[in-house]
Structure 1
């Protein structure tokens, strides 16, 4: 029996076992919001991909090198 579309290629949790939320409610380990962490187990594969993309973008912004003159 083929996999259902929601189950096909569902990404694994981005959790890196550094579970601490910053003042904005974003995990400093994986970059997910409190809401995204809570929704993860019920999220479809498509929703998980969106969550992972947003989390990666948040982490990338956090790790930008200092801007000259700042």
Structure 2
């Protein structure tokens, strides 16, 4: 099972906003993330771009998803 996450592996907290520079989550949200329900995570993720914009932070572009690869068996 995969956990929805806005993490882009830029894990640093802005000392003025107390939000992660990479994803916009707060430390309490990051700490509780694995225990949140899918709907809780999706609700938070929906508001992150606006939260970051309101805080004057750069909103990162979503990472493109890689297509699944299959290795040919020879």
The offset of 1:41, in angstroms, is 0.3
Q: What TM-score comes out, normalization by structure 2 length?
A: 0.62
* 1:17 and 2:20 correspond: no
**RMSD value over aligned CA atoms?**
2.4
Higher relative contact order (CA 8 A, sep 6+): 1
Aligned length: 56
Unaligned runs of at least 5 residues, structure 1:
1-6, 64-70
Unaligned runs of at least 5 residues, structure 2:
59-74
Q: What TM-score comes out, normalization by structure 1 length?
A: 0.65
Runs of 4+ deviating beyond 6 Å: none
